[in-house]
């Protein structure tokens, strides 16, 4: 009975995926799997419509629910915007992969409702390496204002995704960020710290958050007591920005 149900479900899902215009997940899985042989990778790329050596961008996406339909919509929008071949398939209930035949990074498509990380340009035969990098980069989309990012933008920051979470949680600076978050105005304070790391100037932060600069200075002064250092200094800004990033990646 289990085997019969599995066969029926697989056939139904395959028909549903085909109707959405998505690729065969098994083929994409072979293409982005480290354990695939060179021959298997080449065959999967050819069956997906990519000639040998084709330069592609591997795109990792995630969503809060079933990603089949949002992925299909994003695939169509990317194909229309770039005029290039793009194939896509869900790898799990909440994660999907898209392969776009281009060397240029696609422009942000607003309103997709998905978290997106675009990989660096690679030959299609190296899609597995790019997929692992974009999966790591996808974790950075939890940061404020970064629902769509690229591996090129993240650069060496992507290495922070590999830090041992237990080690991160033991860091006093990260624990201080947790205390700030747990405060009465924690969400606003974290947004303020994030803006301070991005803009550097209290007046620019005030303008971005629609606050008076004196209010921003007051909140930062109060946070200094919790953080144990002044985030308004150049060293403090860098320290707070790094601690906030690590907290978002590993501790929240």
Q: Residue ranges of the domains in the chain?
A: 2-162, 165-251
Mean pLDDT for the chain overall: 87
What is the sign of the dihedral through the CA atoms of 68, 70, 74 and 77?
positive
Q: Say what the pLDDT of residue 168 is.
A: 92
Q: Say what the pLDDT of residue 8 is.
A: 58
Check whether 16 has a pLDDT greater than 50: no
Using CA atoms, how far apart are residues 141 and 153, in angstroms rounded to an integer?
12
The pLDDT-based confidence of 141 (bands split at 50, 70, 90) is confident
DSSP summary character for residue 161? G
The pLDDT-based confidence of 6 (bands split at 50, 70, 90) is low
Inter-residue contact 141 to 149 (CB < 8 Å): yes
> H or E stretch including 88?
strand 86-90
Closest CA to 32 of 22, 21, 44: 44
Inter-residue contact 24 to 86 (CB < 8 Å): no
Average confidence (pLDDT) over 65-75:
88
Using CA atoms, how far apart are residues 180 and 46, in angstroms rounded to an integer?
52
Using CA atoms, how far apart are residues 112 and 151, in angstroms rounded to an integer?
19
Using CA atoms, how far apart are residues 233 and 7, in angstroms rounded to an integer?
62
Using CA atoms, how far apart are residues 44 and 123, in angstroms rounded to an integer?
14
Angle between the N-to-C axes of helices 2-20 and 68-82, in degrees from 0 to 180, rounded to the nearest 10 = 30
Determine whether 134 is exposed, middle or buried from the number of CB atoms within 10 Å of its CB (0-12, 13-18, 19+): buried
Closest CA to 24 of 5, 1, 43: 43
Q: Say what the pLDDT of residue 10 is.
A: 52
Residue range 73-119, pLDDT digits in tens: 999 999 999 999 999 998 888 899 999 999 888 888 876 678 999 99
Check whether 192 has a pLDDT greater than 80: yes
Inter-residue contact 100 to 86 (CB < 8 Å): yes
Check whether 43 has a pLDDT greater than 50: yes
Using CA atoms, how far apart are residues 118 and 131, in angstroms rounded to an integer?
9
Buried b (16+ CB within 10 A) or exposed e, 43-70: ebbeebebeeebebbbbbbbbeeebbeb
Using CA atoms, how far apart are residues 33 and 125, in angstroms rounded to an integer?
11
- Report the share of the chain in percent with pLDDT over 70: 91
Using CA atoms, how far apart are residues 52 and 190, in angstroms rounded to an integer?
47
Residue range 205-223, pLDDT digits in tens: 898 888 898 998 999 999 9
Q: For 165-251, which CATH class?
A: mainly alpha
């Amino acid at each position: 009975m289990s085997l019969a149900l599995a066969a029926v479900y697989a056939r139904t899902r395959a028909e549903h995926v085909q109707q959405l215009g998505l690729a065969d997940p098994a083929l994409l899985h072979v293409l982005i799997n480290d354990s695939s042989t060179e021959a298997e990778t080449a065959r999967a790329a050819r069956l997906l419509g990519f000639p040998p050596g084709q330069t592609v961008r591997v795109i990792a996406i995630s969503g809060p629910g079933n990603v089949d339909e949002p992925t299909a919509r994003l695939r169509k929008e990317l194909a229309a915007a770039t005029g290039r071949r793009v194939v896509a398939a869900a790898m799990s209930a909440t994660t999907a992969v898209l392969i776009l035949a281009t060397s240029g990074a696609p422009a942000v498509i607003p309103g997709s409702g998905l978290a997106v990380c675009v990989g660096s340009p690679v030959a299609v035969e190296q899609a597995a390496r790019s997929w692992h990098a974009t999966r790591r980069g996808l974790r950075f989309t939890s940061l404020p204002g970064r629902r769509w990012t690229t591996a090129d933008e993240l650069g060496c920051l992507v290495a922070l995704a590999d830090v041992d979470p237990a080690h991160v949680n033991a860091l006093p600076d990260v624990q201080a960020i947790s205390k700030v978050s747990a405060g009465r105005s924690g969400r606003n304070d974290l947004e303020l710290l994030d803006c301070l790391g991005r803009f550097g100037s209290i007046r620019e932060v005030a303008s971005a958050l629609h606050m008076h600069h004196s209010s921003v200075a007051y909140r930062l002064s109060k946070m200094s007591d919790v953080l144990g250092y002044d985030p308004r200094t150049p060293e403090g800004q860098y320290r707070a920005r790094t601690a906030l990033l690590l907290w978002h990646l590993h501790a929240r």
